[in-house]
Amino acid sequence: MKSLPELITERLRLSALTVTDIPLIVRYADNNKVARYTANIPHPYTEKDAVFWLNLANEGLKRNNHFIFALRDKETNAFMGGIGLRQHQQFKRAELGYWLGEPFWGKGLTTEAAGAVIDFGFGKLGLRKITARHIVVNGASGKVLLKNGMQQEGLLRREITRDGQERDVAVYGLLVEDVETFPR
């Protein structure tokens, strides 16, 4: 894939990250309320971290194995968070990951974005399975996955350490045939 497609939903525009997003990436990701619910966002979060993430997105697209979208307001195009798929091509599956700036929580935006990225994964990438994980104390993330038809497949006890505490991680999965029977 030479360029990341733009995915449009009712309220969102999912598109490639750009250098101009860096100030908002830093503003929203440099929030411990955001970082503590993820395995990969450091805190504090700096411009250097945002540049690293932007480079990761560009390299993933070049390698055709990691598709990272900026989550944007459909009308204003303002950056709000990120969502993506890390593809494991040999198994025709990918792992879904996402984060959203705190000002946008509780509005169903991540659920909407996840649905679009799941459709992209099955429709454009030809995946047979999409998985996702979330830290158990982040129940809102579990709801995003369930609302998109995913099923909890397991629990990884004390899988990560965050804020000095060992955390359990729930694992979810969705098969391509499940999508055909799940009402959207």
Q: Is 110 exposed, middle or buried (0-12, 13-18, 19+ CB in 10 A)?
A: buried
Domain count within the chain: 1
* HSE-up (13 A, CA, CB side) for residue 77: 7
Q: Is residue 126, in this structure, part of any structural domain at all?
A: yes
pLDDT at 139: 92
Is residue 56's pLDDT more than 70?
yes
Secondary structure tally for the chain: helices H, strands E: 6, 8
Q: What is the DSSP string of 90-142?
A: GGTEEEEEEEE-GGGTTSSHHHHHHHHHHHHHHHTS--SEEEEEEETT-HHHH
Q: Is residue 2, in this structure, part of any structural domain at all?
A: no
The structure's pTM equals 0.94
Domain that holds residue 57: 7-181
Say which DSSP state 50 is in: H
CATH number at residue 149: 3.40.630.30
Q: Is residue 74, in this structure, part of any structural domain at all?
A: yes
Q: Is residue 77, in this structure, part of any structural domain at all?
A: yes
pLDDT at 163: 83
Q: Is residue 80, in this structure, part of any structural domain at all?
A: yes
pLDDT at 66: 96
Looking at the DSSP assignment, which residues form a beta bridge with residue 95?
86, 131
Taking residues 126-152, what's their average pLDDT? 96
Q: Is residue 1, in this structure, part of any structural domain at all?
A: no
Is residue 183's pLDDT more than 80?
no
Q: Is residue 70, in this structure, part of any structural domain at all?
A: yes
